[in-house]
């Protein structure tokens, strides 16, 4: 049954895995492994870890190559807007990945098959498995067909702002509560200046300055994303 399902998936995506165990692993959730100790297929957490790195590299190279005039901050925003939990989960749904997931009974009963975090993880694990099976060219071919077009559909006015990008980044990695705190307000009414500090899980990450709180928050969020990129 599992083999038949995987055959159907490969046919629909017009690709082939030399090592079907990698494909099977990509869709095996830890809850399934906990209930099927005799199944020798590992869960997808290690593949997800690898796939996250492969995805970041492939997307970064695509943006660098196809948007030669985009500054670093713009490329960071574009990447974060597409490679975030909600976007990857939506794409996983479109590709029918939820149908192929192997879940434990408890996860199944609580709606795990439609859970965004689980679907996004499966997508990353799939990319990781594809990388191991076919190398970077294989992963990039797949992403060129199904993920990269999302960038070309973007228009400047619809690209997400830095606060949205930072919020999705923090939520996807479960880093903790995100808070903006106005730490200084100075200047006359017509030339007001605000200084805002952004904190994650109670830790100050970055600051921003602007003529309004909104502008200062955007600047703080941009600096926070820059600090994450440099780590």
Catalytic-role residue among 48, 85, 121, 124:
124
Q: Of 92-106, 107-121, 128-142, 216-230, which one has max mean pLDDT?
A: 128-142
Domain 2-158 and domain 162-229 have a common topology: no
Place domain 2-158 in its CATH homologous superfamily. Answer: Ribonuclease III domain (1.10.1520.10)
Q: Which of 55-64, 146-155, 172-181 has the lowest mean pLDDT?
A: 146-155
> H or E element: which one contains 183?
strand 178-186
Q: Which residues pair with 182 in a beta bridge?
A: 196
Annotated catalytic residue 145: no
Q: In what order do the strands lie in the sheet with 193-200?
A: 178-186, 193-200, 203-210
Q: What percent of the chain has pLDDT over 70?
A: 94
- pLDDT band with cut points at 50, 70 and 90 for residue 86: confident
- With 90 as the cut, is the pLDDT of residue 214 above it? no
Which pair of tokens denotes residue 199? 């904190």
- Identify the pLDDT of residue 157: 39
Query: In this structure, are residues 102 and 29 in contact, taking their beta carbons and an 8 Å threshold?
Result: yes
Catalytic-role residue among 43, 52, 85, 168:
52
Q: Which residues pair with 195 in a beta bridge?
A: 184, 209
pLDDT of 36-72, one tens digit each?
Answer: 878 788 999 999 999 999 999 999 999 999 888 888 8
Query: In this structure, are residues 210 and 219 in contact, taking their beta carbons and an 8 Å threshold?
Result: yes
The residue with tokens 């995100």 is 178
Annotated catalytic residue 39: no
Regarding the domain delimited by 162-229, which CATH topology (the fold level of the hierarchy) does it fall under? Double Stranded RNA Binding Domain (3.30.160)
- Domain segments of the chain: what residues? 2-158, 162-229
Question: Which residues neighbour 228 within 8 Å (Cβ) at sequence distance 6 or greater?
Answer: 169
- With 70 as the cut, is the pLDDT of residue 231 above it? no
């Amino acid at each position: 049954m599992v083999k038949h399902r995987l055959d159907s998936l490969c046919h629909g995506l017009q690709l082939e895995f030399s090592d079907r165990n990698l494909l099977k692993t990509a869709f095996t959730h830890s809850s399934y492994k906990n209930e099927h100790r005799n199944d020798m297929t590992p869960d997808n957490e290690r593949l997800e870890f690898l796939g996250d790195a492969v995805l970041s590299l492939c997307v970064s190279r695509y943006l660098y190559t196809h948007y030669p005039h985009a500054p670093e901050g713009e490329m960071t925003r574009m990447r974060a807007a597409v490679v975030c939990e909600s976007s990857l989960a939506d794409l996983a749904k479109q590709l029918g990945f939820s149908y192929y997931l192997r879940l434990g009974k408890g996860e199944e009963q609580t709606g795990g098959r439609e859970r965004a975090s689980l679907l996004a993880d499966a997508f990353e694990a799939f990319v990781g498995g594809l990388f191991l099976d076919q190398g970077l060219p294989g992963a990039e071919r797949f992403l060129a067909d199904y993920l990269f077009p999302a960038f070309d559909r973007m228009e400047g006015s619809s690209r997400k702002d830095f606060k949205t990008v930072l919020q999705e980044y923090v939520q996807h990695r479960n880093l903790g509560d995100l808070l903006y705190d106005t730490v200084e307000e100075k200047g006359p009414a017509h030339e007001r200046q605000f200084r805002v500090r952004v904190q994650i899980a109670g830790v100050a990450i970055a600051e921003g300055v602007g003529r309004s709180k909104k502008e200062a928050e955007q600047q703080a969020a941009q600096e926070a994303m820059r600090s994450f990129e440099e780590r």
